[in-house]
């Protein structure tokens, strides 16, 4: 009986102790941060920019205070020696407690990315507040200015803007989503290189700034964020291209065509459109909708000190438009158009491989296919995977089949 009474008393004490949230805070006591940006500052310091949600601004009300909200968020920039210092200083300038578990984007300037973001990654990795799902974005110019200029018009919140925008990257693959978790895993994995989303502020002047040379079969030009010819009243933020890293340091940028080539070899490409030079009327264009037929097949072998990779990419296409009026729907001409489109994609993939080998970075992850060639993981980690990738012979074969011809069964010349 005595033991039972003691157990009942302990249970009662534990019930009281477990009730409630002693470390919890009311919503009105917390400042929800959704974006964090990092710029280089003088003296080896960093300028850290926080974008914080203003609940009253989102709802459009005054919260009973009689004052109209200034906007849906506020922006604060601090110059600090370390990321940890910025957290404490941020608390000293606002009444609410900063909360970082809702951050959707980690934005760094290209200057900081080229210097290396290892110390920032270390802080985020060890802190339980930061989520691995937040996007890693490299911007041309100032991260602070980028954050200030980003004003979505179609989405209600910044979180929706980044999540919906980057979640749709597979629709064209001109840019790829990259989360903190993905970046960190690739940073610690010897079989591939990290990469980040590349973005910029567009001047909105309509000026055309191509970011690379077109293949002979290609009509449209490749672009980088900030160089897309556009005007209008929409948000001036562009996403196009891929920031590629060697270790924690950015070493270059891939344009939109090269980025799509990475997606094709990773198997993350879903669908997209492209304009092909008409093989029988070079001044005209054939528009195609392309999609992956299957995952790419990549085999590897280590021939002495030079890896050899064989890459097979299978694609399907639909005819969207034929300006010349040539009857490419027929079996007589269809094969000609299929070869033209296949050569275009293969050329873009080879351009990407050549560029990344020059930079010494492997965003596709070719090194992962070399694992069977090593006896142990330790042996692979001791190998210079960058040198192996730069010396690799990568043979690419693209097979594209036109499956559908659209609503027009037989294209006729224009009268």
The reply to whether 136 and 77 lie within a common domain is yes
Residues 81, 202 share a domain: yes
What is the pLDDT at residue 116?
94
Whether residue 235 sits in one domain with residue 347: no
Asked, for residue 387, whether it belongs to a domain, the answer is: yes
Q: Which long-range contacts (CB under 8 A, 24 or more apart) does 53-59 make?
A: 53/102, 53/157, 53/158, 55/27, 58/156, 58/157
Which of 254, 281, 296 is where one domain is finished? 254
218 with 284, same domain?
Answer: no
In a domain, 10, yes or no: no
Domain identity same for 217 and 277:
no
Indicate whether 39 and 79 sit together in one domain: yes
pLDDT confidence of residue 414: 61
Longest pairwise C-alpha distance within the chain: 103
CATH number for position 399: 3.30.300.210
Q: What is the DSSP string of 257-293?
A: HHHHHHHHHHT---EEEEEEE-TT-TTSEEEEEEEES
Give me 85's structure tokens: 């210092």
* pLDDT tens, per residue, the chain with 415 residues: 677 777 777 776 666 666 555 555 666 667 889 999 999 999 889 999 999 988 765 545 554 544 544 568 889 999 998 877 887 888 888 888 888 888 999 999 999 999 999 888 888 888 788 888 899 999 999 999 999 999 888 887 888 889 888 888 888 899 999 999 999 999 988 889 999 999 999 999 999 999 998 999 999 999 999 999 999 888 999 999 999 999 999 999 999 999 999 999 999 998 999 999 999 999 999 999 999 988 999 999 987 779 999 999 999 999 999 999 899 989 899 999 999 999 999 999 999 999 999 999 999 999 999 999 888 888 888 889 999 999 999 999 999 999 988 777 677 666 5
pLDDT given at position 412? 66
pTM of the full structure: 0.88
Overall number of domains in the chain: 2
Nearest residue to 261 via CA among 174, 194, 192: 174
Instruction: Look at residue 318 and tell me if it is in a domain.
Output: yes
> Which residue, 232, 254, 276, sits at the end of a domain?
254
Same domain? 108 vs 243: yes
Q: Could you tell me the residue range of the domain that residue 76 belongs to?
A: 28-54+71-254
Domain end call among 222, 254, 286: 254
Q: Is residue 22 in a domain?
A: no
Identify which of 108, 174, 197 has the alpha carbon closest to the alpha carbon of residue 146.
108
Number of CB atoms found within 10 A of residue 68's CB = 10
């Amino acid at each position: 009986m005595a033991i039972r009474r003691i157990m009942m008393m302990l249970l009662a004490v534990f019930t009281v102790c477990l009730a409630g949230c002693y470390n919890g805070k009311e919503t009105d006591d917390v400042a929800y941060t959704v974006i964090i940006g990092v710029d280089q500052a003088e003296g080896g310091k960093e300028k850290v920019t926080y974008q914080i949600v203003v609940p009253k601004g989102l709802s459009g009300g005054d919260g009973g205070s009689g004052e109209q909200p200034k906007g849906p968020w506020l922006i604060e920039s601090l110059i600090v020696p370390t990321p940890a210092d910025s957290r404490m200083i941020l608390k000293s300038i606002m009444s609410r407690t900063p909360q970082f578990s809702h951050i959707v984007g980690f934005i760094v300037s290209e200057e900081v990315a080229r210097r290396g973001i290892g110390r920032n990654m270390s802080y985020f990795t060890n802190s339980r507040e930061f989520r691995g799902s937040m996007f890693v974005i490299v911007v041309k110019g100032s991260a602070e200015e980028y954050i200030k200029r980003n004003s979505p018009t179609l989405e209600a919140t910044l979180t929706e803007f980044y999540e919906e925008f980057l979640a749709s990257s597979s629709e064209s693959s001109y840019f790829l989503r990259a989360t903190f978790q993905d970046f960190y895993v690739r940073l610690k994995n010897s079989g591939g290189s990290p990469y980040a989303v590349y973005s910029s502020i567009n001047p909105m002047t309509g000026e055309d700034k191509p970011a690379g040379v077109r293949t002979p079969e290609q009509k449209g030009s490749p672009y980088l964020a900030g160089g897309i010819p556009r005007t209008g009243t929409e948000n001036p933020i562009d996403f196009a291209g891929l920031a590629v890293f060697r270790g924690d340091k950015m070493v270059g940028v891939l344009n939109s065509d090269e980025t799509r080539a990475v997606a094709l070899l990773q198997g993350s490409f879903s669908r997209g459109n492209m304009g092909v030079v008409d093989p029988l009327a070079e001044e005209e264009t054939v528009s195609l909708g392309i999609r992956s037929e299957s995952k790419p097949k990549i085999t590897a072998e280590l021939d002495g000190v030079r890896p050899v990779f064989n890459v097979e990419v299978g694609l399907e296409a639909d005819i969207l438009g034929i300006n010349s009026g040539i009857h490419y729907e027929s079996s007589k001409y269809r094969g000609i158009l299929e070869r033209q489109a296949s050569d275009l994609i293969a050329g873009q993939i080879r351009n990407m491989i050549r560029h990344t080998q020059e930079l010494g970075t492997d965003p596709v992850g070719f090194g992962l296919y070399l694992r069977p060639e090593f006896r142990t993981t330790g042996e692979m980690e001791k190998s210079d995977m960058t040198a192996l990738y730069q010396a690799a012979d990568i043979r690419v074969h693209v097979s594209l089949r036109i499956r559908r011809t659209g609503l027009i069964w037989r294209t006729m010349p224009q009268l």
